[in-house]
């Protein structure tokens, strides 16, 4: 029997490898400078969430004495040791890049991050006045002494730690000052008129902590600051939710959120690399953290705040991502000549529509579908699942308007969408107040599926129209995530959706569906059947191939089947953006499996599953990855694409990804990744063909 580590890649280490690709992508010369800054910020934001959830979970397991091994044979303690080593290597790489190449290129392009010590007298006077008027009133120094215990340090907050000497008794005291980054910009822009010989297109910034640190003595009358430094903590932020014991799920999630705000255990302490030993020792003791989880930073703490710089209004410094157009079949919706013939419902009765966002505008397709349903007097009911919704959502507004228009509206709001819980709670309350029937799904399962159903009365009978997507009903993220969606009236799929909505609202125990693959009931079984059929076809000398695109591939049963398929001669192409626990191209294991990861300007979010079936192709899109959680612990829906024209479009799209030689990272047999060397700066990505095709 093979060693588990030779068969499976550790999911946490694979995630770190993914985040490494994000960082390295931003370091490529071909990217514009503010796009490089964006990738650097995303890398840090990803890392924060990784520590808050994944590292926190592993630490909790170690503290509970749990030694259960991962699929690759590592204990929680083993994983934490490897994680710390890998992450420290990557953060060192990021900081060296930021302090040298990125900082120099920012200066060349007219974006200067100034240090207080390098300011001219004019600049310093302006900054000091800004501190006095706009920052000083927000600061609250907290001393630590027998009467004042060490203060609570909130998650991801930026803090100043100082040693203050009282002139009267010469005793040093520890003081903590929270940097108010939520109420003030992290990087404060110095007006151009203050800078001598300044070009209008140049931007000058100073970090808020640098300004506070250099004005620290103004906080302590008749006392002297001996030393100061900066630190940041990351806490366990995963919700502990006991659904089965909850009488009111909404209240239970609200209470759990309150606990998160109060803070879980500290899982990482980031400190400035030059932090004085005395301050560091006091922090480690007061926060109760092991030294291996202390990260010494040679650059800014909390580099996700670099995202602020991407808002600089210089189009020449960043890629224009707002490129979408209205889908060709939806272009004539607003023509006044014949509204019945130009309505979205008339169009869908004639033809299914495959949407590819952001190339097909979300606003003029999915939002238009819900908007028209809200206002159409023939529409009787709207049902929809909401997972992550934008704060100013037009879809929410349309649902409320539909309720006002007397339609039956049912929404499932997933309260447990991680880090969107608070936003979803507020939406759930507003929807209920608008008279909408709001449900929260099935106890013990997170509802992750993206489905919408519209019931319309036509010629005395009801007809169902629907949308099934791979991404959220979120107007903002639809501009930056690649996702697919199907608009259709297929009666079998519509019937399945009606059953699924009844299941979600608690009025059905549906376990079988005509066409939809639904987890946790039918999806795993169907995918296993489809893979096994390819194996049988290969063994019988028939055509056999699998192409699958998803965010993550983790499920051990699916991976083992893919290895078996490879051994049987099935050609397998996997397009996995993030975690991949499968080894490709290994002799006697996966010689027929190729894996690529696409990291580009858009977040690759669509899930596509294509099975050759001896040239009688079966194709599916939906919300699920091949992970245990998606197949066994979530409500997911994957729909078949049966229209020949749409299947052909999806196959062409998959081939475009497979042939990409610009954004694609190729996975090697040892689990690492490499990228094609570009022959010239004119060599553009195959992915860019997608826009032209649409």
Distance (Å, rounded) from C-alpha 113 to C-alpha 189?
9
- C-alpha dihedral sign at 402, 406, 408, 411: positive
Q: Would you say 234 and 153 are in contact if contact means Cβ atoms under 8 Å apart?
A: no
Distance (Å, rounded) from C-alpha 568 to C-alpha 535?
6
The residue written with tokens 């991407």 in the block is 310
Q: Would you say 523 and 640 are in contact if contact means Cβ atoms under 8 Å apart?
A: no
How many Cβ atoms sit within 10 Å of the Cβ of residue 189? 12
CA distances from 29 to 33, 35, 426 (A): 9, 11, 43
Secondary structure of residue 678 in the 3-state scheme = coil
Which residue in 489, 463, 495 sits closest to 351, CA to CA? 489
Q: What is the gyration radius of the CA atoms in the chain, in angstroms?
A: 28
Which residue in 234, 232, 130 sits closest to 185, CA to CA? 130
DSSP 253-309: HHHHHHHHHH---EEEEEEETT--HHHHHHHHHHHT--GGGEEEESS-S-GGGGGGG
How many Cβ atoms sit within 10 Å of the Cβ of residue 154? 13
Which residue in 685, 626, 680 sits closest to 659, CA to CA? 685
Distance (Å, rounded) from C-alpha 392 to C-alpha 394?
7
Q: Would you say 666 and 549 are in contact if contact means Cβ atoms under 8 Å apart?
A: no
Instruction: Read off φ and ψ for residue 364, nearest 5 degrees.
Output: -95, 10
Buried b (16+ CB within 10 A) or exposed e, 631-646: beebbbbbbbbebeeb
Which residue in 638, 649, 664, 685 sits closest to 577, CA to CA? 664
DSSP 24-45: HHHT-TTS-HHHHHHHHHHHHH
Distance (Å, rounded) from C-alpha 385 to C-alpha 370?
12
Buried b (16+ CB within 10 A) or exposed e, 415-446: bbbeebbeebbebbeebeebebebbbbbeebb
Residues acting as catalytic residues: 448
Quick one: CA torsion of 643, 648, 650, 656, rounded to 10 degrees?
Answer: -170
Distance (Å, rounded) from C-alpha 691 to C-alpha 694?
5
The residue written with tokens 């240090």 in the block is 115
CA distances from 361 to 113, 323, 473, 694 (A): 37, 9, 13, 11
Distance (Å, rounded) from C-alpha 31 to C-alpha 483?
23
Q: Would you say 329 and 663 are in contact if contact means Cβ atoms under 8 Å apart?
A: no
Distance (Å, rounded) from C-alpha 551 to C-alpha 84?
24
Which residue in 189, 39, 37, 27 sits closest to 109, CA to CA? 37
């Amino acid at each position: 029997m093979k060693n588990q580590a030779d068969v499976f890649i550790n999911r946490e280490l694979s995630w770190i490898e993914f985040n490494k690709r994000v960082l390295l992508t931003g370091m490529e010369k071909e990217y514009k400078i503010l796009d490089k800054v964006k990738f650097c910020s995303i890398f840090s934001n990803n890392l924060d969430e990784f520590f808050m959830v994944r590292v926190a979970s592993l630490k909790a397991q170690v503290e509970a004495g749990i030694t259960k091994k991962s699929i690759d044979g590592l204990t929680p303690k083993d994983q934490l040791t490897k994680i710390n080593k890998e992450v420290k290597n990557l953060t060192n790489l990021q900081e060296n890049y930021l302090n040298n190449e990125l900082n120099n290129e920012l200066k060349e392009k007219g974006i200067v991050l100034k240090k207080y010590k390098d300011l001219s007298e004019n600049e310093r006077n302006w900054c000091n006045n800004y501190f006095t008027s706009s920052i000083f009133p927000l600061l609250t120094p907290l001393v630590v002494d027998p009467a004042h215990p060490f203060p609570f340090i909130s998650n991801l907050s930026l803090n100043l730690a100082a040693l203050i000497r009282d002139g009267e008794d010469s005793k040093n005291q520890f003081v903590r000052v929270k940097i108010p980054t939520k109420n003030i910009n992290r990087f404060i822009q110095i007006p151009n008129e203050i800078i001598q010989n300044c070009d209008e297109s140049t931007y000058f910034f100073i970090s808020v902590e640098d300004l506070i640190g250099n004005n620290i003595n103004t906080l302590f009358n008749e006392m002297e600051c001996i030393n100061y430094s900066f630190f940041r903590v990351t806490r366990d932020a995963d919700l502990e939710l006991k659904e089965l014991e909850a009488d009111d799920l909404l209240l239970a999630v609200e209470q759990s959120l309150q606990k998160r705000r109060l803070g879980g255990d500290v899982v990482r302490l980031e400190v400035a690399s030059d932090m004085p030993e005395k301050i560091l020792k006091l922090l480690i003791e007061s926060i109760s953290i092991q030294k291996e989880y202390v990260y010494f930073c040679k650059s800014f703490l909390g580099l996700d705040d670099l995202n602020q710089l991407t808002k600089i209004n210089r189009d020449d410094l960043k890629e224009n991502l707002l490129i979408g157009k209205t889908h060709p079949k939806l272009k004539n919706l607003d023509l006044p000549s014949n509204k019945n013939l130009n309505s979205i419902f008339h169009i869908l009765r004639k033809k299914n529509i495959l949407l590819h966002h952001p190339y097909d505008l979300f606003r003029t397709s999915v939002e238009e579908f819900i908007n028209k349903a809200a206002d159409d007097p023939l529409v009787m009911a709207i049902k929809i699942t909401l997972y992550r919704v934008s704060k100013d959502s037009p879809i929410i507004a349309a649902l409320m308007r539909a309720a006002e228009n007397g339609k039956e509206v049912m929404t499932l709001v997933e309260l447990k969408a991680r880090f969107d819980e608070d936003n979803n709670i507020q939406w759930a309350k507003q929807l209920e107040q608008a008279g909408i029937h709001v449900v929260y799904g099935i106890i013990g399962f997170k509802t992750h599926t993206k489905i919408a159903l519209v019931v319309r009365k036509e010629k005395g009978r009801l007809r169902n129209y629907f949308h099934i997507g791979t991404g959220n009903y979120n107007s903002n993220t639809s501009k930056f995530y690649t996702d697919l969606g199907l608009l259709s009236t297929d009666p079998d799929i519509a019937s399945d959706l009606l059953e699924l909505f009844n299941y979600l609202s608690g009025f059905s125990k549906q376990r079988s569906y005509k066409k939809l693959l639904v987890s946790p009931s039918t999806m795993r079984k169907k995918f296993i059947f489809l893979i096994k059929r390819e194996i049988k076809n290969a063994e019988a000398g028939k055509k056999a191939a699998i192409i699958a695109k998803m965010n993550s591939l983790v499920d051990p049963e699916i991976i083992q089947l893919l290895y078996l398929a490879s051994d049987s001669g099935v050609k397998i192409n996997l397009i996995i953006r993030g975690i991949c626990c499968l080894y490709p191209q290994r002799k006697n294991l996966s010689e027929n499996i190729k894996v690529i990861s696409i990291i580009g300007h858009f977040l690759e979010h669509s899930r596509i599953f294509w099975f050759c079936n001896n040239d009688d192709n079966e194709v599916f899109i939906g919300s699920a990855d091949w992970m245990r959680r998606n197949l066994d612990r979530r409500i997911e829906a994957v729909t078949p694409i049966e229209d020949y024209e749409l299947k052909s479009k999806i196959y062409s799209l998959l081939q475009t990804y497979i042939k990409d030689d610009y954004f694609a990272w190729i996975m090697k047999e040892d689990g690492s990744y490499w990228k094609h060397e570009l022959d010239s700066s004119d060599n553009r990505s195959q992915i860019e063909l997608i826009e032209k095709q649409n």
